């Protein structure tokens, strides 16, 4: 392939570069790989093969179907990552669950990050540089953090150092990727803010998250209102604290009689379930010995 043809392909963009049969990017030694690193493009599902070294072999069917339904309705929000193996051939690096769900949803093309064989350091630089862009939404930032961890093998602490952010900030962004796809899409479309999203994350139940998300959109709730709503929800769903039941007068009298018999202070506590506790007080070892002798007599 001549330099002229190479420049022409690059000039047409990433799609033209990948669709050119003369272009076989498996490394960046010829320079064309630089146009691929960190870029997203639409790939035919038929061109992607599973990673034979994928350690995860079991995917829960019901969960996979739910994801497929979500993808069918809204598309694939989080791109998969693939490695270019040759012309029109790609191998999954990460995102096999999303890939399988996309197939179930009937998608023929999906968004993908493309990696090449020797682009590790370039990928790290591209991701870190990309994170600094002001126009990125919170999900895009979270995805970049996730790629630094999964594909560049950085820890959260190392990511925080690379991007000059607190580790807690990195963690909060990564937690966004656990929200339901509908909410992630709302973040990407800037229908809700990062503050709204952080409040929603604190709720454990997915359906409750979605219900509150709809309330945010319908009633234009502020971040403070959402935070208050999450507090109310936690109070409703938190396990009820042990409630003490009023001790009946007859039981109180029995405690007094037992105390008089033992020459010790006796109190009785009852829980709302009906369970109870009798407690006998003593001051020292000799008094305990005296109580034990009386109880055994």
- Residue 255 CA to residue 59 CA, distance in Å, equals 60
Q: Considering only CA atoms, which of 116, 162, 173, 164 is closest in space to residue 140?
A: 173
- Which among 96, 158, 182, 227 is annotated as catalytic? 96
Report the alpha-carbon distance of residue 210 to residue 205 in Å, rounded: 9
Q: Where are the alpha helices (DSSP H) in the chain?
A: 3-11, 14-19, 61-74, 96-104, 120-131, 138-150, 156-163, 167-175, 181-188, 194-201, 206-219, 223-237, 249-262, 285-296
- Which tokens hold the place of 63? 């969960």
Active site residue 96: yes
Q: What is the DSSP string of 65-77?
A: HHHHHHHHHH--S
CB within 8 Å of 174: residues ≥ 6 apart: 142, 145, 146, 149, 156
What is the longest distance spanned by two Cα atoms in the chain?
Answer: 108
Q: What burial class does residue 34 get, using C-beta atoms within 10 Å of its C-beta: 0-12 exposed, 13-18 middle, 19+ buried?
A: middle
**Among 38, 31, 34, 29, CA closest to 126:** 38
Cβ atoms of residues 84 and 25 within 8 Å: yes
Q: Catalytic amino acids?
A: 96
């Amino acid at each position: 392939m001549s330099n002229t043809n190479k420049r022409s392909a690059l000039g047409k963009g990433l799609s033209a570069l990948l669709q050119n049969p003369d272009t076989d990017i498996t490394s960046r030694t010829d320079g064309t790989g630089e146009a691929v690193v960190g870029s997203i493009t639409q790939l035919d599902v038929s061109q992607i093969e599973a990673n034979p070294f994928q350690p995860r072999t079991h995917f829960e069917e019901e969960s996979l179907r739910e994801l497929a339904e979500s993808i069918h309705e809204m598309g694939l929000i989080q791109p998969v990552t693939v490695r270019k193996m040759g012309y029109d051939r790609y191998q999954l690096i990460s995102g096999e669950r999303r890939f399988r769900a996309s197939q179930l949803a009937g998608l023929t093309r999906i968004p993908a990050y493309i990696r090449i064989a020797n682009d590790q350091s370039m990928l790290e630089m591209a991701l870190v540089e990309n994170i600094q862009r002001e126009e990125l939404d919170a999900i895009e930032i979270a995805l970049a953090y996730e790629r630094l961890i999964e594909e560049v093998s950085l820890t959260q602490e190392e990511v925080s150092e690379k991007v000059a952010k607190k580790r807690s900030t990195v963690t909060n962004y990564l937690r966004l990727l656990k929200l339901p796809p509908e909410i992630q899409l709302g973040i990407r479309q800037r229908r809700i803010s990062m503050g709204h999203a952080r409040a929603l994350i604190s709720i454990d139940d997915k359906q409750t998250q979605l219900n509150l998300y709809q309330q945010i959109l319908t009633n234009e709730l502020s971040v403070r209102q959402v935070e208050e709503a999450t507090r109310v929800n936690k109070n409703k769903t938190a396990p009820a604290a042990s409630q003490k039941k009023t001790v009946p007068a007859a039981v109180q009298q029995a405690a007094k009689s037992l105390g008089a018999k033992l020459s010790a202070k006796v109190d009785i506590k009852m829980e709302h379930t009906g369970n109870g506790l009798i407690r006998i007080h003593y001051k020292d070892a000799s008094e305990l010995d005296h109580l034990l002798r009386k109880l055994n007599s």
